[in-house]
C-alpha cells in the first residue's frame, strides 16, 4: 500500500508540474520548428547519450571491483542500458539504479556487494556534479542577475556538496559505533569504499575523468536538442544551467524527472534572462531523447538472459 501511495504521489507531482510548465509554451509553434536539420541534431543527441551510458558503465566497473562485485565491461554496459529503460518506467528518476542492483546481485555478486557498488557510484556522480557547479559559479553569477536565482543556486549546490563531503568524512572517522550500529554500518562501509577508490592512484584519475565526462555529455546532449530547434542559448550557457537542473531532477519525487525537470529548466532560463518557454522546449526534447534511449534499453532487457530466466514473474525491486 505504501508503495502504491508513493507512486501515485509521484505521478500527481509530475502531472501537476508538467501542466504548469506546458502552459508557457505553444506546442504548435514548437512543432513548426522541426525540419530535416532537427533530425540530425536529435540523432547526434541520441548518440551522445549512448556514449554517456558507455562512460557510466566504465565508471561503475571501476567501483564494483572494489566492492567485491565481479562486473565485466559488457555486463556494465548492458545493465546500464536496461537501467536507462527502467529510469523511464519506474516512479523515480533513479529507479534504474534499483534494477541495476537487482541485475548485478542476481548475476552472482551478492546483494551487499551489488548495493554498495551502485550506491557508491551514485554518490561519486553526485559529488562530481556538485564540484562542476561550484567550479562554474563565477560564470553563473555573471549569467544570473536575479538574487533569488543566485540564492537558489547556492543553496542547492552547497547542500549537495556538503552532503558529499560529509559522506566522505564519515569513512575517515574511527568511531567504533559507526561500524556496529545498524543505522550507520552500511553507510560507513560505502564511505570507506568511496574514499578508497577516489583517492587511489589506480582508480582515482579514471573515476575523475569518467565522472566529469558523464555530466559534460549530458550538457552536450542538452545543447544538441537546443540546436535542433534553434533555441537562443550557447553551449557555455547550457554548461552553467543544465548541471543544477540535473541535480534537482535527481530528487525521487516524480516519474523519470518529468515535470520537475521542465519546471526547473524554465526557472533556470528565466533567471538567466533567457525565454522561459525555451527552457521548457529544451527540457521536453531532453526527456524525449532519454525516452528513446530508454526504449532501446527496453529491447536489451526483453532479449536479455535475465528476462528469459525471470519468465513471467514480476521484478521485485528493493526499496
What pLDDT is recorded for position 297? Answer: 92
What pLDDT is recorded for position 21? Answer: 59
122 domain-assigned? yes
What pLDDT is recorded for position 318? Answer: 44
106 domain-assigned? yes
What pLDDT is recorded for position 1? Answer: 60
Query: What is the extent of the structural domain holding 213?
Result: 35-302
Whether 265 and 283 have beta carbons less than 8 Å apart is answered as: yes
131 domain-assigned? yes
What pLDDT is recorded for position 20? Answer: 60
Q: How far apart are CA 216 and CA 288, in angstroms?
A: 19
27 domain-assigned? no
115 domain-assigned? yes
Position 106 pLDDT exceeds 90? no
225 domain-assigned? yes
Whether 235 and 282 have beta carbons less than 8 Å apart is answered as: no
pLDDT tens digit string along 216-242?
A: 999 999 999 999 998 999 999 999 999
14 domain-assigned? no
What pLDDT is recorded for position 23? Answer: 65
Position 205 pLDDT exceeds 60? yes
Q: Whole-angstrom distance between the N-terminal and C-terminal Cα of the chain?
A: 13
pLDDT tens digit string along 294-311?
A: 999 999 988 887 766 665
Position 316 pLDDT exceeds 60? no
What pLDDT is recorded for position 312? Answer: 44
For 134-155, what is the mean pLDDT? Answer: 86
What pLDDT is recorded for position 253? Answer: 65
Lowest mean pLDDT among 103-117, 160-174, 251-265: 251-265
Contacts of 227 (CB under 8 A, 6+ apart): 41
Short-list 167, 162, 191, 168, CA closest to 179: 191
The total number of structural domains in the chain stands at: 1
What pLDDT is recorded for position 92? Answer: 54
136 domain-assigned? yes
Task: Identify which has the larger pLDDT, 16 or 91.
Answer: 16
DSSP per-residue string spanning the chain: -HHHHHHHHHHHHHHHHHHHHHTTS-HHHHHHT--HHHHHHHHHHHHHHHHHHHHHHHHHHHHHHHTT----HHHHHHHHHHHHHHHHHSSSTTHHHHHHHHHHIIIII-HHHHHHHHHHHHHHHHHHHHHHHHHTHHHHHHH---HHHHHHHHHHHHHHHHHHHHHHHHTT---HHHHHSTTTHHHHHHHHHHHHHHT-TTTHHHHHHHHHHHHHHHHHHHHHHHHHTT-S--HHHHHHHHHHHHHHHTSSSSSTTTTHHHHHHHHHHHHTTS-HHHHHHHHHHHHHHHHHHHHHHHHHHHTSHHHHHHTTSPP----
Residue 10 banded pLDDT, cuts 50, 70, 90? low
pLDDT tens digit string along 41-85?
A: 999 999 999 999 999 999 999 999 888 888 888 999 999 999 999
- The proportion of the chain whose per-residue pLDDT surpasses 90, expressed as a percent, equals 41
Task: Identify which has the larger pLDDT, 252 or 197.
Answer: 197
pLDDT tens digit string along 153-180?
A: 888 888 888 999 999 999 999 888 888 8
Amino acid at each position: 500500500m505504501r508503495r502504491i501511495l508513493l507512486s501515485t504521489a509521484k505521478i500527481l507531482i509530475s502531472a501537476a508540474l508538467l501542466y504548469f510548465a506546458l502552459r508557457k509554451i505553444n506546442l504548435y509553434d514548437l512543432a513548426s520548428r522541426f525540419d530535416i536539420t532537427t533530425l540530425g541534431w536529435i540523432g547526434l543527441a541520441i548518440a551522445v547519450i549512448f556514449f554517456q551510458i558507455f562512460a557510466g558503465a566504465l565508471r561503475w566497473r571501476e567501483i564494483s571491483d572494489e566492492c567485491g562485485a565481479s562486473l565485466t565491461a559488457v555486463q556494465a554496459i548492458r545493465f546500464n542500458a536496461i537501467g536507462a529503460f527502467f529510469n523511464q518506467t519506474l516512479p523515480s528518476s533513479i529507479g534504474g539504479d534499483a534494477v541495476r542492483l537487482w541485475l548485478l546481485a542476481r548475476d552472482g555478486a551478492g546483494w551487499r556487494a551489488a548495493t554498495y557498488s551502485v550506491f557508491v557510484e551514485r554518490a561519486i556522480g553526485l559529488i562530481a556534479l556538485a564540484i562542476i557547479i561550484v567550479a562554474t559559479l563565477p560564470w553563473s553569477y555573471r549569467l544570473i542577475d536575479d538574487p533569488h536565482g543566485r540564492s537558489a543556486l547556492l543553496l542547492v549546490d552547497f547542500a549537495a556538496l556538503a552532503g558529499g563531503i560529509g559522506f566522505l568524512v564519515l569513512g575517515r572517522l574511527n568511531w567504533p559505533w559507526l561500524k556496529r550500529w545498524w543505522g550507520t554500518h552500511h553507510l560507513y562501509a560505502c564511505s570507506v569504499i568511496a574514499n578508497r577508490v577516489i583517492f587511489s592512484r589506480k582508480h582515482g584519475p579514471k573515476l575523475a575523468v569518467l565522472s566529469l565526462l558523464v555530466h559534460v555529455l549530458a550538457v552536450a546532449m542538452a545543447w544538441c536538442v537546443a540546436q535542433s530547434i534553434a533555441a537562443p542559448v550557447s553551449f557555455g550557457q547550457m554548461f552553467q544551467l543544465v548541471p543544477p537542473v540535473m541535480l534537482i531532477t535527481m530528487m525521487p519525487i516524480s516519474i523519470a524527472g518529468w515535470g520537475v525537470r521542465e519546471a526547473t529548466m524554465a526557472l533556470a532560463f528565466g533567471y538567466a534572462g533567457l525565454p522561459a518557454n525555451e527552457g521548457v522546449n529544451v527540457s521536453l526534447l531532453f526527456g524525449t531523447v532519454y525516452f528513446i534511449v530508454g526504449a532501446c534499453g527496453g529491447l536489451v532487457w526483453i532479449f536479455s538472459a535475465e528476462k528469459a530466466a525471470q519468465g513471467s514473474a514480476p521484478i521485485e525491486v528493493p526499496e
